Structure 1
């Protein structure tokens, strides 16, 4: 059976997070963004409350702490050189 394809509008914070969960549930998300390029500096995030739980469920909280991020408030989303994650 062919996976359901989903178009996600917005490459900020919510778009990639939604794409992550869609992918985990067997769908094929494509994220589109109207900005002409990926932000060079990434995004500065302040994550608290439900956001910390979301990072834990995504399996990212321990990984971030392993990279030396002392708390979720110090997390920066960086899309890398190719703009893919």
Structure 2
């Protein structure tokens, strides 16, 4: 998923050239973020919540999570906050 981090919440799903990073969740506790510089870091909980929220907002139809992740309440709350999606028919 492509994201820009200069807005709150993060903007998502733009062209690669307009994104600050490409975020690829690879496990419940790890993600790859492709960006301008190489680094390895621990991400603060607030940033984890922002990235999780962006994944909920960007979901097409479903949000998948581990059954024991403890994220169901978070995902349901963010899904209620999700901006309206306009579908052209």
Global fold match (TM > 0.5): no
Pick 1 or 2: higher relative contact order, CA cutoff 8 A, min separation 6: 1
TM-score, normalization: structure 1?
0.29
TM-score by length of 2: 0.29
